[in-house]
Amino acid sequence: MGLVGRRGNLVGAGGFDRRARLAIMAGVSVLAGGCVSVRQELAHEQAGLEQAWRAQAAQPASQAPRSLTWEAALEQLRAHNPKVRAADLEVLRAEEAFDQTKRSLIPMADLQAGYNRGLKYGTTDGFDPFYFAATLFFDVPGLINYKTRYEASVLSLTHAQLMRELAWREQAIELYRLARADAKFAELAQHYNKRRATAAELAATAPRLAAAERSQVAALEQKLVAERAETQARLGDILGLPGANLVVTTEERPALAYETTTARPAPEQLAHLPLRLAAVELVALRARELGVKLRAWPEVNVSVSSPTLYRRNAAQNDYWSSQDVIVGLNAFWTLDTQGRNASEARLAAAERAARHEVLAQESARIVAKLHNALDGLSRTDTKLADVRQALVDAPAGVRAPLLAARDALEDERAQWALVLWFFDDARWPGGVPPVTPANRT
């Protein structure tokens, strides 16, 4: 038998009905708030924003590079990345909803006070002009009602936390990619400077060769500037520092690991985070089906009401008395004559079956991605070992293409390794790091 509680007042409302009191209070709030002009508030806020904009726009376009260690970059990412901050907000909402489920059992206290005076002949017309009442309300949830709300809040909180973990991994991996790419661009800039210096030395003896080299270097540098500007823009956006000239140092940046075959985890040891998210979805779908089934159960409502704790009106005091407590117990059934519950049950079952199939396809896609990354990592390592061996005693004429091939293979290897890193729970100990006052400022 279903047991669903209904809010009752331990001590009944004195004076005005509670809904009428709430309506009056809302009306007073609207009137009080209406004293402030919306146009004035808009003008004030716009003036402040325009002042801040003028100060920001007056800053020079070119700023000195800001160097960040890897740990400092992670702290900046944790505190100011838009996607991580949005995930934090969802977790906060879920935490508040979870706490509110428990706080709903705490009684609510209402206090009322008033002054009533007859204006005729300036007298009180024989009654006490002061009024005061104290009322206590509490929620009596049914066992199933409260259990459902509590478990739903736990499920929502778990889902929000897992989504935050997913956002954190995605953004941290993207930060690594961008920092690594920016470091490569810095190395290329130094390499092009050396080539330009070499061309200047050749100008006296081989002017045509020097001119061709300078033209080629200029084209490469122009392309490098455009690519690095795009990387810098993405780096600033991901760190919550748009427009800043950032350099993430390489000293503390973690190694990509997975150097040997024995150090690489098997696919079944990876991708547990998507599995946990899938489990949350399936539990939510089963809970929906159960909720549809419970609608066919009889519902029992329990209510408790009594006078106020204390009330003074017309020079008369009223105190709470247990003899005036009224307990109500009602049970009723709703017959599904239109077949709505049966229809929703069929839809919920179909949705769960469809979601099972989609999750199975997603799992197969992740498995294929992991196998592809592991196989690609092995192939790339083999090619990289051959190129490195060839560089040992390569003549000067072929070293340049070999070095370019080595760099390309190292970039390819990094992409394969980052795929494994994202799904490797062992590389993410402790989950999402907490936000501290130091990295929030």
Specify the pLDDT at position 33: 54
- Give the 3-state DSSP-derived string for 62-98, with helices as H, strands as E and coil as C: CCCCEEECHHHHHHHHHHHCHHHHHHHHHHHHHHHHH
Q: Is residue 125 part of a domain?
A: no
Same domain, 396 and 381: yes
Which candidate, 431, 393, 389, 387, places its Cα nearest to that of 410?
387
Same domain, 239 and 286: no
Q: Is residue 439 part of a domain?
A: yes
Structure tokens at 61: 């376009």
Same domain, 203 and 286: no
Phi, psi of 253 (to 5 degrees): -65, 130
Phi, psi of 9 (to 5 degrees): -105, 125
Segments of the chain with pLDDT less than 70: 1-36, 61-63, 117-128, 142-143, 314-315, 436-441
Same domain, 276 and 374: yes
Domain that holds residue 89: 78-104+155-253
Q: Which amino acid is at 153?
A: S
Structural domain tally of the chain? 2
Specify the pLDDT at position 205: 84
Specify the pLDDT at position 206: 84
Q: Is residue 135 part of a domain?
A: no
Tens of pLDDT, residues 281-303: 999 988 888 888 877 787 777 77
Check: CB of residue 405 under 8 Å from CB of residue 387: yes
In b/e form, how buried is each residue of 106-135, taking b as 16+ CB within 10 angstroms? eeeebebeeeeeeeeeeeeeeeeeebbbbb
